[in-house]
């Protein structure tokens, strides 16, 4: 037999597969609510003006492209820390946070997963049920056994907080708990401040390892509001990890800009942790790419560009909110008698619509409306041109 004769064909990524199906659909009125990408009122992926301006400034004084340090651009890592933890956070003054540039939020998660696995090979990982598709696969590939804690409560259209807390209470010390910092993907339901406090108290009492995935900071309520959860963990004085993604908040998906930050007990500990993160990076891809992080660092540290970004991010956030309100209105007008108001309680790009697999299939086959079989639809892909058709289609299958 030849070397690769026994290689199995891996199943294709369900969401990217949906994309291929969408692209092949000749229906001129088709709408793609499958992928997690923000498009503007014209259905286009935006190039933020702050990004274009930062690129113009960078281009005006082109630099040679040497290797970056293994942990990335120092000014970028610092800007990430100030964004995530707050510019005057005590942990930063104390030098207790190890931050590395990563390849998107996924890269940050993977560096963290590899580091944790080396630290404690016996630990298990818990993710939310349901969670972002890639969480389970990523932590499994890193060598962990991955379980899930209850999260979505379909009957109550919200979070099964009691179930979640019970699962955390039953977890062995050292278990890594992956938590969505804001804008939960796929459900859109975030813990309330009071529920966060209970989760943090449980994590602390049980000696669990919280790993916050922050892929949507600024897409929910605001940059500071969405980041408030970080302050809660700091106040509780627990060690934790945070992955950051700028894919959505800067519309820089393809540039792969993200980070991993680890909050440690002391500066000395952070130095040792950083040295280990560098080994993970060095043996995977050696060092990160230059462009995207330079753009983000320029925007975050240049006051005028920073203001521009905050306005543009607010624009995206508010447009998503408007689409939530409008969708509820249009569904009612289209004859859906059930109260769909829950859609406006959800945060971020996505909505768990409550539709089942058969209904999602009909949406695709009969109306060219593409969402995920779980019932997840991307609200950030709605606009005033496609929302009527989407509402009518959902009404028809409801």
Catalogue the active-site residues.
132, 213, 248
- Smallest gap, in angstroms, from Cβ of residue 369 to ligand PLP? 20
Residues numbered 364-383 forming contacts with ligand PLP, rule: CB under 6 A = none
Q: Which is nearer to ligand PLP, 152 or 367 (CB)?
A: 152
Residues numbered 205-244 forming contacts with ligand PLP, rule: CB under 6 A = 213, 215
- Strand pairing partners for 369? 31
Q: Which is nearer to ligand PLP, 212 or 274 (CB)?
A: 212
Residue nearest ligand PLP (C-beta atom): 104
> How many C-beta neighbours within 10 Å does residue 126 have?
25
Beta-strand relationship, 369-370 and 31-32: parallel
- Smallest gap, in angstroms, from Cβ of residue 36 to ligand PLP? 4
Half-sphere exposure of 22 (CA within 13 A, CB side): 18
Q: How far apart are CA 209 and CA 212, in angstroms?
A: 10
Q: Which is nearer to ligand PLP, 19 or 57 (CB)?
A: 19
Q: Which of 187, 247, 261, 351 binds ligand PLP (CB under 6 A)?
A: 247
Q: What is the dihedral of CA 356, 149, 120, 196, to 10 degrees?
A: 120
Q: Which is nearer to ligand PLP, 13 or 169 (CB)?
A: 13
Q: Which of 245, 346, 359, 386 binds ligand PLP (CB under 6 A)?
A: 245
Q: Which is nearer to ligand PLP, 83 or 340 (CB)?
A: 83
Give whole-number Cα distances, 191 to 121, 123, 164, 328, in Å.
Answer: 30, 25, 11, 22
Give whole-number Cα distances, 133 to 15, 29, 285, in Å.
Answer: 9, 28, 24
Q: Which is nearer to ligand PLP, 48 or 340 (CB)?
A: 48
- Smallest gap, in angstroms, from Cβ of residue 61 to ligand PLP? 28
φ, ψ of residue 103 in degrees (nearest 5) = -85, 85
Q: Which of 22, 76, 85, 132 binds ligand PLP (CB under 6 A)?
A: 132
Helix H segments across 100-150?
104-119, 133-141
Residues numbered 45-104 forming contacts with ligand PLP, rule: CB under 6 A = 104
User: According to the binding rule CB under 6 A, does residue 252 interact with ligand PLP?
Assistant: no
Residues numbered 176-205 forming contacts with ligand PLP, rule: CB under 6 A = 180, 185
Which token pair is 248? 């959505």
- Smallest gap, in angstroms, from Cβ of residue 106 to ligand PLP? 3
User: According to the binding rule CB under 6 A, does residue 105 interact with ligand PLP?
Assistant: yes
Sign, Cα dihedral of 82, 289, 222, 160: negative
Which stretches of 14-81 are assigned E, i.e. beta strand?
31-32
Q: How many residues bind ligand PLP (CB under 6 A)?
A: 12
User: According to the binding rule CB under 6 A, does residue 258 interact with ligand PLP?
Assistant: yes
Which token pair is 286? 């050696």
3-state secondary structure of 79: helix
Closest Cα partner for 101 from 306, 284, 307?
Answer: 284
Which token pair is 381? 């892909």
Inter-axis angle of helices 133-141 and 104-119, nearest 10: 40
Q: Which is nearer to ligand PLP, 132 or 144 (CB)?
A: 132
Give whole-number Cα distances, 262 to 81, 122, 274, in Å.
Answer: 10, 20, 9
Which token pair is 68? 């970056």
Q: Which is nearer to ligand PLP, 247 or 359 (CB)?
A: 247
Q: Interface mask (CB under 6 A) for ligand PLP, residues 28-47, using x and -? A: --------x-----------
- Smallest gap, in angstroms, from Cβ of residue 105 to ligand PLP? 3
Question: Could you give the strand order of the β-sheet that contains 176-180, starting from the edge strand earlier in sequence?
Answer: 97-103, 257-263, 240-245, 209-214, 176-180, 125-129, 146-150
Residue numbers at the binding site for ligand PLP (CB under 6 A): 36, 104-106, 132, 180, 185, 213, 215, 245, 247, 258
């Amino acid at each position: 037999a030849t070397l690769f004769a026994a290689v199995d064909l891996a199943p294709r990524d369900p969401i990217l597969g949906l994309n291929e199906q969408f692209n092949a659909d000749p229906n001129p009125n088709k709408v793609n609510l499958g992928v997690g990408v923000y498009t503007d009122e014209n259905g286009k992926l935006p190039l933020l003006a702050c990004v274009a301006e930062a690129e113009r400034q960078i281009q005006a004084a082109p630099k040679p492209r040497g290797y970056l340090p293994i942990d990335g651009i120092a000014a970028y890592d610092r800007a990430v820390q100030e964004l995530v933890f707050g510019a005057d956070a005590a942990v930063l003054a104390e030098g207790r946070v190890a931050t590395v540039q990563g390849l998107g939020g996924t890269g940050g998660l993977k560096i963290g997963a590899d580091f944790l696995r080396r630290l404690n090979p016996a630990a298990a990982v818990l993710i939310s049920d349901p969670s972002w598709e890639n969480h389970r696969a990523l932590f499994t590939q890193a060598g962990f056994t991955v379980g899930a804690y209850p999260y979505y409560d379909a009957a109550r259209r919200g979070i099964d907080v009691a179930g979640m807390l019970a699962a955390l209470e039953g977890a062995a010390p050292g278990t890594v708990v992956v938590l969505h910092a804001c804008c939960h993907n796929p459900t859109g339901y975030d813990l309330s401040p009071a529920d966060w406090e209970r989760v943090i108290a449980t994590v602390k009492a049980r000696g669990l390892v919280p790993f916050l995935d922050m892929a949507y900071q600024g897409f929910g309520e605001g940059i500071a509001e969405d980041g408030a959860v970080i302050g809660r963990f700091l106040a509780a004085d627990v060690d934790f990890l945070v992955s950051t993604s700028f894919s959505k908040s800067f519309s820089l998906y393809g540039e792969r800009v993200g980070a991993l930050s680890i909050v440690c007990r002391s500066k000395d500990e952070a130095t040792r942790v950083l040295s280990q993160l560098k080994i993970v990076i060095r043996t995977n891809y050696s060092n990160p790419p230059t462009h995207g992080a330079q753009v983000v660092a320029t925007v975050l540290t240049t006051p005028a560009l920073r203001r521009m970004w905050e306005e543009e991010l607010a624009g995206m956030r508010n447009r998503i909110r408007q689409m939530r309100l409008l969708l509820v209105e249009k569904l009612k007008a289209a004859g859906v008698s059930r109260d769909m108001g829950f859609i406006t309680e959800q945060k971020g790009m996505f909505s768990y619509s409550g539709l089942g697999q058969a209904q999602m299939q009909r949406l695709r086959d009969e109306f060219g409306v593409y969402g995920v079989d779980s019932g997840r639809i991307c609200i950030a892909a709605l606009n005033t041109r496609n929302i009527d058709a989407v509402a009518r289609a959902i009404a028809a299958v409801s």
